[in-house]
Amino acid sequence: MIKLLPEKCIGCGLCVKACLFGGITLDNKEPALNEYCTACGACVDVCKVGAIVLEGERSKAGHDTSLYSGIWVVAEQRRGRLQPVALELLGKARQLADARGSSVTAVLLGSGMDMHGETLIQHGADKVFLADASFLSDYRTLPAERVIGGLIEQHKPEVILFGATTMGRDLAPRIANRFRTGLTADCTGLEMSPDGLLLQTRPAFGGNIMATITTPLHRPQMATVRPGVMKAQHSPGRKGDIETVTAEPAPSDDLVHILSSVKKEQGRIALDKADVIVSGGRGLRDPRNFKLLEELAGFFSGQVGASRAAVDMGWIAHDHQVGQTGKTVRPTMYIACGISGAVQHLAGMQNSDIIVAINKDPQAPIFSIAHYALVGDMNIIVPALIEQLKSA
Ligand SMILES: Cc1cc2nc3c(=O)[nH]c(=O)nc-3n(C[C@H](O)[C@H](O)[C@H](O)COP(=O)(O)OP(=O)(O)OC[C@H]3O[C@@H](n4cnc5c(N)ncnc54)[C@H](O)[C@@H]3O)c2cc1C
């Protein structure tokens, strides 16, 4: 969709500087696009002589945004059980809707889902669309997209949130494509601007910056959020409406048959469910020091986590990794030992209720988010804590 007009190019190189992907080169005043071009249009904006133009669909105007209202959450169930991420997203949706003066709707697909309607309302929904049919019992892309897409067409929500789960990561892009709208994956923060723009924050460029992304022209505005990032809010007295949606199977559903589904064996590590996590990083120096962390975690029936550096060095299995490419956790207490606090690690644990950091470098970034900062050698501090806990 990017078209180059070499005859107009003056070889100033502004386009090369503006491209964050290295997608355009300039050789003897001869601009050329390569496979890294994402057609984002940054080069078009900086070109002062009109030598680069954006053609096709992206240059068209967006949707009539005034027709869209309300915040929706696509609530996920697995084997008939509502997934916690659905309730976490409703907590955030409630805040966004209150800021916008609009309403929250949960959409739930499945079979035998009646009992979940009230739960969704008690966690922030004003309304629940319940599509209850046997062909919807197991998630399949095509029927889910058809049923939810039909509801979107009819009701035009302004915002839709999905869990960044296997299901959400499959379904959300498909729906975004159907409505030709934007989707921001793995958001760590969501806010609403006064004029109704969803401010979607997520780590970008390898996690080195936090980018806030908006979808100014198209609707609905769509985002996925990983489990554990947002906080569920339970208000037992809340009232709302449950509307049953009639959903019929279609021939296209038969493209995929689910013959059986087998639950993956849960490893020993259930970091996302642990109340207390004691994590170790490169500062442990020796993998045997994870034994100390296990002992400390044991006092709280907690689990042991790790930074990517510790995992990459083969000190501990990837199951334990916390962060952008590991797990997102929100325990009551997170104890970080010998972890510097890189932004990719913080992305996975910064919402913990209490953060205790042990690091010998007083300038370590982890201290900027720690509630308790223990400056010193973890080989001295951790054994001392264990002794204190033993005597207590
Ligand atoms: C795309 C991408 C994704 C990533 N995803 C993740 C992720 O999911 N999770 C993650 O953790 N990282 C991730 N990283 C890596 C991240 O950038 C950091 O490299 C990593 O978190 C550093 O791990 P660390 O803090 O253990 O090691 P370091 O940064 O080397 O820090 C070690 C710390 O230990 C301290 N220390 C040393 N000795 C002692 C001692 N005796 N007592 C106390 N303190 C001591 C030092 O002062 C230092 O602060 C990712 C990077 C990229 C590019």
Instruction: Read off the pLDDT band of 252 (50, 70, 90).
Output: confident
Q: Are the beta carbons of 277 and 303 closer than 8 angstroms?
A: yes
Q: Answer yes or no: is the C-beta of 103 below 6 A from any ligand 1 atom.
A: no
Whole-angstrom distance, CA of residue 251 vs CA of residue 187: 35
Q: Answer yes or no: is the C-beta of 335 below 6 A from any ligand 1 atom.
A: no
Instruction: Read off the pLDDT band of 253 (50, 70, 90).
Output: confident
Q: Does a structural domain hold residue 265?
A: no
Structure confidence at residue 54 (pLDDT) = 85
Q: How far is the CA of 342 from the centre of ligand 1 (A)?
A: 6
CATH of the domain at 281: 3.40.50.1220
**pLDDT at residue 59 greater than cutoff 50:** no
Atom of ligand 1 nearest to the CA of 366: 49
CATH of the domain at 135: 3.40.50.620
Same domain? For 215 and 100 the reply is yes
Instruction: Read off the pLDDT band of 57 (50, 70, 90).
Output: low
Full residue range of the structural domain in which residue 286 is found: 271-391
Pocket test for ligand 1, best of 188, 288, 304, 307 (most atoms within 8 A of CB): 307
Q: Answer yes or no: is the C-beta of 342 below 6 A from any ligand 1 atom.
A: yes
Same domain? For 20 and 91 the reply is no
CA dist 269 → 265, 286, 305 (Å) = 11, 21, 9
Structure confidence at residue 266 (pLDDT) = 57
Q: Does a structural domain hold residue 334?
A: yes
Q: Whose CA is nearest to atom 51 of ligand 1?
A: 344
Same domain? For 205 and 324 the reply is no
User: What mean pLDDT comes out for the span 142-157?
Assistant: 96
Kindly state the tokens that stand for 78: 């697995």
Q: Does a structural domain hold residue 261?
A: no
Same domain? For 139 and 228 the reply is yes
Question: Percent of the chain scored above 70 by pLDDT?
Answer: 97
User: What mean pLDDT comes out for the span 133-149?
Assistant: 95
Q: How far is the CA of 338 from the centre of ligand 1 (A)?
A: 8
Q: Does a structural domain hold residue 151?
A: yes
Atom of ligand 1 nearest to the CA of 307: 11
Same domain? For 109 and 248 the reply is yes
Domain final residue, candidates 43, 59, 75: 59
Q: Answer yes or no: is the C-beta of 321 below 6 A from any ligand 1 atom.
A: yes
- DSSP string for residues in 88-153: HHHHHHHHHHHHHT--EEEEEEESS-TTHHHHHHHTT-SEEEEEE-GGGSS--HHHHHHHHHHHHH
CATH of the domain at 40: 3.30.70.20
Q: Answer yes or no: is the C-beta of 360 below 6 A from any ligand 1 atom.
A: yes
**pLDDT at residue 245 greater than cutoff 80:** yes
**pLDDT at residue 155 greater than cutoff 80:** yes
Domain final residue, candidates 36, 59, 82: 59
Q: Whose CA is nearest to atom 36 of ligand 1?
A: 283
- Each residue's pLDDT tens digit, 97-116: 999 999 999 999 999 999 99
Pocket test for ligand 1, best of 229, 293, 311, 325 (most atoms within 8 A of CB): 325
Same domain? For 235 and 325 the reply is no
Same domain? For 42 and 174 the reply is no
Q: Does a structural domain hold residue 264?
A: no
Structure confidence at residue 41 (pLDDT) = 87
- Each residue's pLDDT tens digit, 202-238: 988 767 788 999 999 999 999 999 988 999 999 999 9
Q: How far is the CA of 308 from the centre of ligand 1 (A)?
A: 7
Q: Answer yes or no: is the C-beta of 310 below 6 A from any ligand 1 atom.
A: yes
Query: One-letter amino acid identity for 147?
Result: V
Q: Cα dihedral angle (132, 136, 141, 143), rounded to 10 degrees? A: -70
Q: How far is the CA of 115 from the centre of ligand 1 (A)?
A: 44
Domain count, the chain: 3
- Each residue's pLDDT tens digit, 267-324: 566 788 899 999 999 999 999 999 999 999 999 999 999 999 999 999 999 999 999 8
Whole-angstrom distance, CA of residue 33 vs CA of residue 54: 13
**pLDDT at residue 336 greater than cutoff 90:** yes
Q: How far is the CA of 332 from the centre of ligand 1 (A)?
A: 22
Same domain? For 224 and 88 the reply is yes
Q: Would you give the end-to-end CA distance of the chain in angstroms?
A: 68
- Each residue's pLDDT tens digit, 365-381: 999 999 999 999 999 99
Q: How far is the CA of 369 from the centre of ligand 1 (A)?
A: 15
Question: Percent of the chain scored above 90 by pLDDT?
Answer: 82
Whole-angstrom distance, CA of residue 315 vs CA of residue 285: 10
Q: Does a structural domain hold residue 266?
A: no
Give the DSSP H or E segment for 78. strand 77-78
**pLDDT at residue 179 greater than cutoff 90:** yes
Structure confidence at residue 63 (pLDDT) = 82
Q: Answer yes or no: is the C-beta of 281 below 6 A from any ligand 1 atom.
A: yes
Paired sense of beta strands 189-192 and 276-280, if any: unpaired
Same domain? For 46 and 182 the reply is no
pTM of this prediction? 0.70
User: What mean pLDDT comes out for the span 177-184?
Assistant: 94
Atom of ligand 1 nearest to the CA of 379: 41
Q: Does a structural domain hold residue 199?
A: yes
Longest dimension (CA), the chain: 81
Q: Answer yes or no: is the C-beta of 316 below 6 A from any ligand 1 atom.
A: no
Same domain? For 53 and 72 the reply is no
Structure confidence at residue 58 (pLDDT) = 52
Atom of ligand 1 nearest to the CA of 206: 1
Domain final residue, candidates 206, 221, 255: 255
Pocket test for ligand 1, best of 208, 271, 308 (most atoms within 8 A of CB): 308
Q: Answer yes or no: is the C-beta of 328 below 6 A from any ligand 1 atom.
A: no
Paired sense of beta strands 198-204 and 209-213, if any: antiparallel
Q: Answer yes or no: is the C-beta of 122 below 6 A from any ligand 1 atom.
A: no
CA dist 284 → 111, 290, 306, 328 (Å) = 49, 8, 10, 22
Same domain? For 176 and 69 the reply is yes
Q: Answer yes or no: is the C-beta of 292 below 6 A from any ligand 1 atom.
A: no
- Each residue's pLDDT tens digit, 4-51: 999 999 999 999 999 988 899 998 878 999 988 888 889 999 999 999
Mean pLDDT of all residues belonging to the chain? 93
Atom of ligand 1 nearest to the CA of 323: 8
Same domain? For 139 and 157 the reply is yes
Residue 321: DSSP 8-state:
B
Q: Does a structural domain hold residue 211?
A: yes
Q: Answer yes or no: is the C-beta of 312 below 6 A from any ligand 1 atom.
A: no
**pLDDT at residue 348 greater than cutoff 50:** yes
